[in-house]
Each structure stands twice: as C-alpha cells, then as structure tokens.
C-alpha cells in the first residue's frame, strides 16, 4: 500500500522582519515572478542581498499619486535561496524557490486546519487564520500533479472541490470556505427548477448570500440561473436549507455537470472551483416524487431538499392503488409502510 507523505504549510506574513517596509508581493517567490517594493518620498532605491551577499538588480521606478515610489524587478536568472530586501526604513526576507516547484497558497474563510491531497497520495496540511495564508511547495515529479482540497462532504447533494493541475513554476491560490454549497435535488425531470443553497450555521455562508458577486456559475447550454434575493434579516436555523441560486434545467435527459467558483471575501484572487452533477430523467422513483411533493400547490417542487413529512405521507396514502405522478409505479401498502417508517425515524432524530 502506498504511504502518504505529509507536508507542513508555512504561514505567509511571518517572514517580514522590518515592519516599516511594505512589500506588494508574497514572501515566497518563483523565478518568473516580480518583486515589488514601496518606499516613501526621499528614500533611496531598495537594496537586495542573497544569503547576505549584495546583488545588483535592475529596478523599474514609478511614482504613485500618494507620493510613494513603486520599485519593481524581475527575479529570473537568480539562484534559489533566502533573499533580503532593504530600504532606508527597514528590511524584509523572502524565499526564492526553484522553478521545478509549484506554489499553492490557501486562504480559509475562518481559522482552521487546511489540507490538500495530490494525485501522488501526498497530503499537505497546516493551521492558518485569515488574513494570513498557508503556503505549500509542490515538487515536480515527472508529471504534472493534480491537487484538491479535503472537505468533509455531508451528502451526495454537496458540491465537491474540483481537481486542479499544478504545473512547475506556477502559483495557485485556493480559497477554503467553511461550508460547501448543496443542491436541493440531484435527480429531476426535464424543464424543472432546483436550488443551490447552504445548510449549517448562518454565519458560515451569510456573506455569500448577501454578496452574489463572490460566486459564478458555469451551466450546461440552455440552462438558466438566478440569484435569490436576500436581505440581512433574522438568520435561519441550522437545520434549514437556505436557497442561494435558482436553476432552471434543460429539456433533454442526461447527466450534466455544474461548476461553481467561489471567491474569498478577504481576497477575491483566492478562489475555489467546486462541481457536481444533475441527472435529468423522464421518470422518477416513487420516493423522490413524494419527498419533493408540494402538497399545498399539488405539484412537484425540487427547490427544497428531499424529506418525508407528515403532510406528504398523508398525500401518499391518498394515492393508494393509483399511479404516482412522474413515475411508472403505483402506490402500494408496502411502499406506504416504508415511507411511514422513514418519516417516523426522521421524527425521532
């Protein structure tokens, strides 16, 4: 059995040794990236050292409207190692890594242990609290590795984080939300409507509900999606499924992929790509129909998750011996008893 390698993440922000110095870039760099430093008016140009040895670099200087000076230089051609940059007011250290590594930065929504796994069965983990980020160096090992964040996925309706390729000499910025969105249903009939929403503590997803610009959806051709209007009012209970997007599916049966991109409220350059599948069928199973039936409107409703309620159980009883809508089945005493047991079990939880 292949063992798993564990990597420990570095927390960005701790390598800054001079508080008065302002760096515009991370403290770990790839050779193809740019070092940017800001100085105050009247200061001399920054100085750079590699392993305590002064190094001459070609600075590009520009003045900003607030009077500060922006200094920019490329790092290509310089050897990996610990570097320092100095100004008249302070200094900062940064690490220049080999181009055979990829950098993965992770910014969580709140303080947590973040984990990513690679296709080589390696696990990288580290504790981090925003606005700091965890940083992992992924080595190049003969092929371009895939990575994906590790989440506790509640059920089949929950979006999964997509697998991402990391190439040597590249930087990837990942956002880790506290909760992943869910579908209200994974199997529907043609031209129906379902919802993307959240379950869990309201504080974990309130910002996404109130700021639709933090997310973007990629839908199959012909599908449509509309954000649910949300106001900052009384938060729902933990058990509620809170709709976020309403999705109108297409008319052709099949299995379709939905892709959702979530941006960090702290820094929109950090994103998470999550995906899931929806199956469109001509006929549903009896349980799916009953668990999604809107008794008051007497219609099928996929905008809330499946649940066998008392009202739906009574409606199912009224169908005894009759065809169940949207299925090829007839309501039988055995099926009703099975539904009644499911309702009783859920009522005691």
Q: Is residue 20 part of a domain?
A: yes
Q: Do 77 and 92 fall into the same domain?
A: yes
Mean pLDDT value of segment 279-308: 96
Q: Could you give the percent of the chain with pLDDT greater than 70?
A: 87
Q: Is residue 224 part of a domain?
A: no
Mean pLDDT value of segment 317-346: 96
Residue 118's pLDDT is 84
Q: Is residue 107 part of a domain?
A: yes
Q: Is residue 218 part of a domain?
A: no
Q: Is residue 298 part of a domain?
A: yes
CATH code for the domain of 124: 2.60.40.10
Residue 201's pLDDT is 84
Residues 6+ apart with CB under 8 A from 318: none
Mean pLDDT value of segment 212-216: 88
Euclidean distance between CA atoms 59 and 180, whole angstroms = 44
Residue 141's pLDDT is 61
Euclidean distance between CA atoms 201 and 236, whole angstroms = 9
Integer CA distances (angstroms), 47 to 20, 21, 94, 139, 191, in order: 15, 12, 13, 30, 64
Q: Do 65 and 29 fall into the same domain?
A: yes
Residue 234's pLDDT is 54
Domain end: 38, 66, 96, which one?
Answer: 96
pLDDT at 67 over 80: yes
Q: Please indicate whether residue 11 or residue 126 has the higher confidence score (pLDDT).
A: 126
Whether the CB-CB separation of 342 and 308 falls below 8 Å is answered with yes
For residue 349, the 8-state DSSP code is -
Confidence label for 17 from pLDDT (cuts 50, 70 and 90): very low
- Lowest mean pLDDT across 152-161, 305-314, 325-334: 152-161
Q: Do 78 and 109 fall into the same domain?
A: no
Residue 154's pLDDT is 66
How many separate domains does the chain show? 3
Q: Do 142 and 111 fall into the same domain?
A: yes
pLDDT at 249 over 80: yes
pLDDT at 4 over 50: no
Pairing of strands 271-280, 187-188: parallel
Euclidean distance between CA atoms 66 and 225, whole angstroms = 43
Domain end: 63, 96, 129, which one?
Answer: 96
Confidence label for 7 from pLDDT (cuts 50, 70 and 90): very low
Q: Do 86 and 158 fall into the same domain?
A: no
Q: Is residue 241 part of a domain?
A: no
Q: Do 144 and 124 fall into the same domain?
A: yes
Euclidean distance between CA atoms 194 and 278, whole angstroms = 10
- Lowest mean pLDDT across 82-86, 150-154, 181-185: 150-154
Residue 166's pLDDT is 86
Domain end: 37, 69, 96, which one?
Answer: 96
Q: Is residue 204 part of a domain?
A: no
Confidence label for 187 from pLDDT (cuts 50, 70 and 90): very high
pLDDT at 92 over 70: yes
- Quote the pTM value: 0.81
Mean pLDDT value of segment 155-181: 90
Q: Do 123 and 90 fall into the same domain?
A: no
Q: Is residue 243 part of a domain?
A: no
Domain of residue 87 covers 14-96
Residue 277, classed as helix, strand or coil, is strand
Q: Please indicate whether residue 211 or residue 46 has the higher confidence score (pLDDT).
A: 46
């Amino acid at each position: 059995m292949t063992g798993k390698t564990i990597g420990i993440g570095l927390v960005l922000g701790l390598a800054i040794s001079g508080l008065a110095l302002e760096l515009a870039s991370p403290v770990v760099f790839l050779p193809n990236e740019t070092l940017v430093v800001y100085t105050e008016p009247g200061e001399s140009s920054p100085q750079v050292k590699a392993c305590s040895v002064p190094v001459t670099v070609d600075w590009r200087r520009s003045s900003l409207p607030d009077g500060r000076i922006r200094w920019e230089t490329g790092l290509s051609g310089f050897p990996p190692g610990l570097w320092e940059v100095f100004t008249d007011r302070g200094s900062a250290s940064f690490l220049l890594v080999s181009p055979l590594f990829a950098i993965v930065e992770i910014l969580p929504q709140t303080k947590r242990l973040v984990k990513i796994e690679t296709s080589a069965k390696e696990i990288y983990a580290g504790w981090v609290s925003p606005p700091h980020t965890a940083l992992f160096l992924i080595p190049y090992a003969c092929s371009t590795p895939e990575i994906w964040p590790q989440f506790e996925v509640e059920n089949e309706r929950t979006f999964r984080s997509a697998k991402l390729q990391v190439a040597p000499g590249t930087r990837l910025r990942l956002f880790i939300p506290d909760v992943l969105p869910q579908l209200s249903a994974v199997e529907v009939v043609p031209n129906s409507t379902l919802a993307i929403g959240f379950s869990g503590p309201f504080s974990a997803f309130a910002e996404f509900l109130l700021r639709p610009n933090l997310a973007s959806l990629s839908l199959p051709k012909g599908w449509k999606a509309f954000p649910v209007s949300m106001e900052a009012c009384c938060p729902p209970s933990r058990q509620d499924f809170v709709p976020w997007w309403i999705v109108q599916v297409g008319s052709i049966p099949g299995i379709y992929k939905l892709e959702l991109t979530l941006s960090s409220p702290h820094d929109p350059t950090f994103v998470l790509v999550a995906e899931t599948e929806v199956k469109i069928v001509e006929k549903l199973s009896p349980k799916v129909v009953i668990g999604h039936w809107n008794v008051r409107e007497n219609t099928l409703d996929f905008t809330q998750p499946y649940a066998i309620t008392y009202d739906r159980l009574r409606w199912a009883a009224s169908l005894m011996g009759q065809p169940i809508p949207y299925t090829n089945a007839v309501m039988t005493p055995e099926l009703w008893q099975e539904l009644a047991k499911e309702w009783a079990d859920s009522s005691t939880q």
